[in-house]
Amino acid sequence: MVRMEKEVEFDIEAEQFIARYDSSLDTVKVFVKEEDELIEVVVYDVMWFAWHAYFPETIENLIH
C-alpha cells in the first residue's frame, strides 16, 4: 500500500506517524510527527520465527 501511495499517514493512540516509500532503497521509512518536525522511527525487519526462537516469552507478553 505504501509503495503505491508513496506516503501514508496514520495514528497510534495520541501519536501521528507517516510512512514513506523510499524507491532508492525499495523500503518504507516511518516517521513520528513531533510539533513541526518529523523524527525517523528506527525499526527492525525480523522474521517472527527467528525472534521467537530467541525470545519465546514474547508471545505471552503480546497475549496478556
Q: Give pLDDT tens digits for 5-60.
A: 899 999 988 899 999 999 998 888 999 999 889 999 987 666 777 777 888 777 66
Between residues 54 and 64, which one has the greater pLDDT?
Answer: 54
Output Rg (C-alpha) for the chain, integer angstroms: 15
Specify the DSSP element, H or E, that contains 5: helix 2-5
What pLDDT sits at residue 24?
92
**What confidence tier does 64 reach under pLDDT thresholds 50, 70, 90?**
very low
Residue 15 CA to residue 29 CA, distance in Å, equals 16
Give the model's pLDDT for residue 46: 65
The answer to pTM > 0.75 is no
**60: helix, strand or coil:** helix
Rama region for 47: left / alpha / beta (φ>0; ψ in -120 to 50; rest) = beta
Give me the residues paired with residue 28 across strands.
Answer: 21
DSSP code of residue 17:
E
